[in-house]
Amino acid sequence: MRYDLNLLPVFVTLMEERNVTRGADRLGITQPALSNALARLRLVMRDQLFVRERYGMQPTQMALELAPVIAAALAAIDDVVLGQQDFDPMQAELLFTIAPNSYVEFVLMPAIVARLGKTAPGIKLRLTPYGNDLVETGVMSGTTAMVLGRIADPPDNLVVQHLMNEGLACVVRADHPDIGDSMTREQYEWLRHVNVVPHGRLRVGLFQALEQRGLRREVAVSVTHFLAAPEMIAVTDYCATLPSLICRHLAADPRLKIVPAPVDLGRFPVDLAWHVRYRHDPAHRWLRSLISDVARELSEIHWTSDGGTTGKNGADIEDA
């Protein structure tokens, strides 16, 4: 039997989105075009494949059985075709869609963009929100090239590479009346805090670290992005507990002062993940290597209590 290979990405997208509108947006086609493609899929497979219910399109039993087979077939085709291609970064004209969490966007992406400007000026990046789960990023369907952040319990169609471990430090205003170059456990607990609550799994790491060490924290205000925290700290006597590389950026702000946390809060992992179909894509593989190099170079430098830097240390946080 002859199959229209153009229909297979449509099937994969509908399996992940369970919604015609979102599926059409992800594929860059109109809803009628997606509905027409689904009709052709149903005719070829002789099955409804997706049944409209109150909360979206639900796959039939045949669709559930087909899903891993089709995903593997697409990955195998990509491996053969892309594996034969040469890649010259200086001559490449490509656009990659990447989903970094807010930490990665602040800390890693500027260095990555700067490196690309020197080594691959024709490569452009489009950053898309990390969202609350991997489905929202588009990485599970392959429409997003890669995702950077905390990747826990990845599905079988994702490849995950560990990039670095990151620590935590505290930020207060430079002329804080009660905090000098260090902070005691008692001071940390009676201070009021600015809490950063980003999207995704990154939000749970600090809460778990504090709970594991029996350290209390009174939260005065919660913000959704790391960039908001220093502005809050600069005009209050509050404290913020932030990743060490962010603190290293903030150390140049004369309004702020960085001090070590009163106890070792451990470290959280930063990962890179991509769809299996890109495993042997030469351009994708080159970009992954560049990102890995940048992350390694940045992670080798960490804030210390004397205002200097040091290499990696500390225990890991299990589920940051």
The residue-averaged pLDDT of 3-8 equals 80
1 pLDDT band (50/70/90 cuts)? low
Please name the residues in contact with 22: beta carbons below 8 A apart, sequence gap of 6 or more: none
- Residue 316: the pLDDT is 38
pLDDT in tens, 188-244: 999 999 998 875 554 456 777 888 888 899 999 999 888 899 999 999 999 999 999
246 pLDDT band (50/70/90 cuts)? very high
The residue-averaged pLDDT of 96-124 equals 94
Q: Are 129 and 263 in contact (CB under 8 A)?
A: no
Q: Are 307 and 198 in contact (CB under 8 A)?
A: no
The residue-averaged pLDDT of 67-85 equals 73
CATH 3.40.190.10 fits 94-161+277-300, yes or no: yes
2 pLDDT band (50/70/90 cuts)? low
- Residue 52: the pLDDT is 87
The yes-or-no verdict on residue 3 having pLDDT over 90 is no
- Residue 230: the pLDDT is 94
Q: Measure the CA–CA gap between 294 and 189, rounded to whole angstroms.
A: 36
Residue 307, φ and ψ in degrees, nearest 5:
85, 0
Whole-structure pTM value? 0.68
Comparison of pLDDT for 157 and 105, the residue scoring more = 105
What is the residue-wise DSSP string for 226-280?
TTHHHHHHHTSS-EEEEEHHHHHHHTT-TTEEEE--SS---BEEEEEEEEGGGTT
Estimate the crossing angle of helix 31-45 against helix 7-17, to 10 degrees.
110
Share of the chain above pLDDT 70, in %: 88
- Residue 191: the pLDDT is 96
The yes-or-no verdict on residue 25 having pLDDT over 90 is no
- Residue 83: the pLDDT is 54
* Domains 7-83 and 94-161+277-300 belong to one CATH topology: no
The residue-averaged pLDDT of 48-61 equals 87
The yes-or-no verdict on residue 86 having pLDDT over 80 is no
- Residue 289: the pLDDT is 94
The yes-or-no verdict on residue 24 having pLDDT over 60 is yes
- Residue 303: the pLDDT is 46
Q: What is the mean pLDDT of the chain?
A: 85
The yes-or-no verdict on residue 312 having pLDDT over 60 is no
Comparison of pLDDT for 80 and 218, the residue scoring more = 218
- Give me the residue spans of the domains in the chain: 7-83, 94-161+277-300
Element counts in the chain: helices (H) and strands (E): 12, 14
CATH 1.10.10.10 fits 7-83, yes or no: yes
Q: Measure the CA–CA gap between 317 and 209, rounded to whole angstroms.
A: 7
The residue-averaged pLDDT of 77-88 equals 68
Question: Which stretches of the chain are assigned E, i.e. beta strand?
Answer: 50-53, 56-59, 94-100, 123-127, 146-149, 158-166, 168-173, 192-196, 218-223, 239-243, 256-259, 268-275, 302-303, 309-310
